[in-house]
Amino acid sequence: MLKKVSIAGVSITIAIVVFVAALSYSEDETEIEIEPIVNADVIMPTKVSRPGCEETDRCYIPSEITVEKGRTVTWLNEDSAFHSVTSGFYDAPTELFDSGHMDPFESFSYTFSESGVYDYYCTLHPWMEAQVIVE
């Protein structure tokens, strides 16, 4: 009788270990999947949180992107600092889109349904400016 109880105890322990292992495995899998999913059209590269990138036109790469009407554009923050994708200019926002503060490796998407030229900037770093041209 005592033997039976301990066997049951061992099976339960094994079952718990397997369950916990399965849980942690699926968490790992989720983490691995997140990064490659982002297929960015525009990136914010490293070190753009200090002035200078505007001189080489590399605050957002590319700083000018042309897309068809109806297309969704995705930005990815590849820097270690916060950035934003905010429509308009620093002293004249248009309030069409605003990513808010984007964490490192966070992405933001916006679908352009009207043709036109869309200027945008970073609310944290006014020298960061770029354009989306929608045809």
28 token code pair: 């790992």
Question: Strand runs (DSSP E) across the chain, as ranges?
Answer: 42-44, 64-67, 72-77, 86-89, 92-98, 107-111, 116-121, 129-134
CB of 130 to Cu ion, least distance (A): 11
Is residue 135 a contact partner of residue 117, using CB atoms and an 8 Å limit? no
* The binder of Cu ion chosen from 38, 40, 67, 124 (CB under 5 A): 124
CB of 71 to Cu ion, least distance (A): 24
Using CB under 5 A, which residues numbered 62 to 91 contact Cu ion?
83
The verdict on 125 binding Cu ion (CB under 5 A) reads: yes
Q: Cβ closer to Cu ion: 79 or 112?
A: 79
Is residue 87 a contact partner of residue 101, using CB atoms and an 8 Å limit? no
CB of 111 to Cu ion, least distance (A): 22
Which residues of this chain interact with Cu ion, rule CB under 5 A? Answer: 83, 122, 124-125, 128
